[in-house]
Chains A and B, each alone.
Chain A
C-alpha cells in the first residue's frame, strides 16, 4: 500500500477496511492525541495566565477570545486534551481490565460464584451512571483522580457483562474441550483458549466508551466534582462559559473539543465493528 501511495493517483486504492468515517475518526483522534503531547509547543500563550483583557470576543490575537479571567480560550482548549484523553484512556483501561477479568471468571466458573458476581454487576448497572459517578466522586471529594475512580466504578460492569457473554459462548466450542482433554488447567484454558477469542467486541465497546468517558469526566467537572478551577479542563471551562452566557466563545472551544472527540471515537468504534463483524451491517 505504501508503494501505491507513492505512485500516480490512479494507482492509489483504498484498503477495504478503511471506511470514510473510520478515516475521519482516526484523523480527529490523532489530532487530539498530538495536542495531548504537544500543546505547549503549538500554543503561544500560557494556559493558566491572564494574557489579555477579559471576555474578549474572537480576534486575530485570540482566535477563540478570552474568558472571564482574560485567559486565551483556544490555548486552554488545546491544553485541555492533556487532562481529558489520558484520563479517559486510563479509566477505560482499568474498567476493561477489571470488568473483563470479573466477567471472564463469572462466565467460566459459573454457578454460585458467577451468579454472585453478576448480581453485583446488575446492582451497579441499575444506577444511572451519572448519578453513581456523582455520588462516588462527591463522597471522595473533588479532583480528577477521584473522578477517575468514580468512573471506573461506574464502567467496569459493562465490560463484565460483555466478557461473560463472550466466555459463555466460546467455552462451549470444541477446541476448549480439546484443551481440557489435553490436560490443561482451567486457568490456562481460560487465558489461552477463551479470552484471546473474545476481545474484539470489548475493543469496539472500549473505543466508543473512550468518548463517553471524556463526556462524563467533563460533566463531573462541569458540576464541580472533577478538575479544580485553574485547570484547563473542558467541563469546568464550559461551566465558566455557562455563567457568561452572552460570551458564547468561552464554551464554544471546549464544546467543540468534546463533540469532536466523542464523534471521533464513535467513528472508530463503528469502523472497527464493521471490520470485526461485516455481517452486522446488512
Chain B
C-alpha cells in the first residue's frame, strides 16, 4: 500500500508533526478543554513516549490527531503527517490513512479483538480493508505471516483460533500484527502493556522495537509507566493537564528532569537499592477536566510554587537542550532521585 522508500531507522525524515493541538469537549453548553496545545514531532524510526497521569489528555490528544475524537469534541491546531494536514480531512480520506499509514494499538487486547471472529480472519480483514483487490486466500496467508512476524508460535493453527483461546500477551501480539498488516509508517500504541504482566510487557515492547527496526516505522508510545519509556523511547513528552510540561531525549529527561512534575514522577519510582516504608507520591491529585488551575496548572501540587506560578502561565522554552514549561526551569536545585524521599520518610532498615 505504502510503497515509500524505507531507509531504515537511521533516517530523520519527519513523519508526524503536531502543532498546537487542542481538543475540547462540549458539555452542557460549555467547552471543557482536555488538550490545551500540544506540539510533538515524530521521525521515521523514532520512538516517542508520551507520559502522563490518567486524564492528562495524552490518549485523547493522539486519538483526535488521527481523527478518532468523540462526536462532541472540537479539535483545532495542526497535525501534519508526511506533509499532509490531517485536521479537517474528510472521513473518507482519514479511513484510508488509518490502518494503512497510521495504525493504532489499544490497551486491552481482549476487548480490542472481535470475540466472534477468528484472529486470522480479523488480521486478514485489516489487510483486505486497504487492499481490496487481494484475494481472501492471499490475505489469510499474509495474516499467518504477520502472526509469525510478531513471534506467535504455530501461526497457521493460531490463525484459526478465537481471541479467547489466546493468552494476554499473544492477544496483544495479534493486535500488533493487525496494526502492522499494511506496513504503516506510524504506529500509535496507547498503553500497549498496561493490561499485561511485567514479563509479558517486556516481550511486547521487544516486539514493538524489533518492528520499528525492521519496518522503520515511527512509534508513539502512550503510557503512564516511566520505566517502559526508560528502556524503549528515544524522546519523551511529559503531559500534565493537557499540556506538555517537559520534552527531552530520554537520557536528558532521566538524567536531570527539569520540571517539578517530572521530578515528582521520577521520585515516585521505587528504587531497587533502597528500602522505603512509604513510597513518595506527588501531593494532591490531578484536577478534573474543566477545573484546571489558573497560571501554571501544576502549582497547587508543586513544592516550588510562588505567587508568579499562581498567576502567570509559564511559556514552554528551551533550557539545557530540552523544552520545559516552568518559570524556574534550570534554576531549581539539582535533582537527586532519592532527594525527594528525604522530605517524606527516612527509615532505612539497614
Contact = CB atoms under 8 A, between A and B. Distances in A.
B111 A173 contact: yes
A180 B99 CA distance: 9
Contacts of A179: 114
A180 B103 CA distance: 10
Nearest to B127: A182
B97 A175 contact: no
Contact of B108 (A174, A181, A183, A196): A174
B98 A192 contact: no
Interface size class of B (residues with CB under 8 A): 20 to 34
B116 A182 contact: no
Contact of B111 (A174, A182, A185): A174
A183 B114 contact: no
Nearest to B100: A183
Given A178-B106, A182-B98, A197 B129 contact: no
Nearest to A182: B99
A174 B109 CA distance: 9
Q: Which of B104, B114, B130 has the most CB of A within 10 A?
A: B114
Nearest to A188: B129
A177 B129 contact: no
Contacts of A42: none
Nearest to A180: B68
A4 interface: no
Nearest to B121: A192
Interface in A225-245: none
B99 A181 contact: yes
A193 B121 CA distance: 12
A5 interface: no
Contact of A183 (B99, B111, B112, B115): B99
Contacts of A140: none
Nearest to A185: B95
A184 interface: yes
B126 interface: yes
Contact of B106 (A174, A188, A192, A193): A174
Nearest to B125: A192
Interface residues of A, number: 17
Contacts of A175: 111-115
Interface in B100-156: 100, 103-104, 106-108, 111-117, 125-126, 129-130
Interface of A is mostly: helix
B175 A183 contact: no
A90 B103 CA distance: 44
A184 to B, nearest CB: 6
A178 B171 CA distance: 13
Contacts of A182: 98-99, 103-104, 125-126, 129, 178-179
Contacts of B68: 177, 180-181
B229 interface: no
B175 A178 contact: yes
Contacts of A173: 111
B115 A177 contact: no
B125 A183 contact: no
Contacts of B175: 178
Nearest to B98: A183
B66 interface: yes
A156 B111 CA distance: 31
Contacts of A174: 106-108, 111-112
Interface of A: 173-175, 177-185, 188, 192-193, 196-197
Which 5 pairs, one residue from A and one from B, show the smallest C-beta to C-beta distance? A183-B99, A182-B99, A181-B104, A174-B111, A183-B98
16 contacts: A174-B106, A174-B112, A175-B112, A175-B113, A177-B112, A180-B98, A182-B99, A183-B96, A183-B98, A183-B99, A183-B130, A184-B99, A184-B125, A192-B117, A196-B114, A196-B116
Interface of B: 66, 68, 95-100, 103-104, 106-108, 111-117, 125-126, 129-130, 175, 178-179
Given A177-B106, A182-B125, A184-B95, 15 more contacts: A173-B111, A174-B108, A174-B111, A175-B111, A175-B114, A178-B113, A180-B68, A180-B98, A182-B179, A183-B129, A184-B99, A188-B129, A192-B114, A196-B114, A196-B117
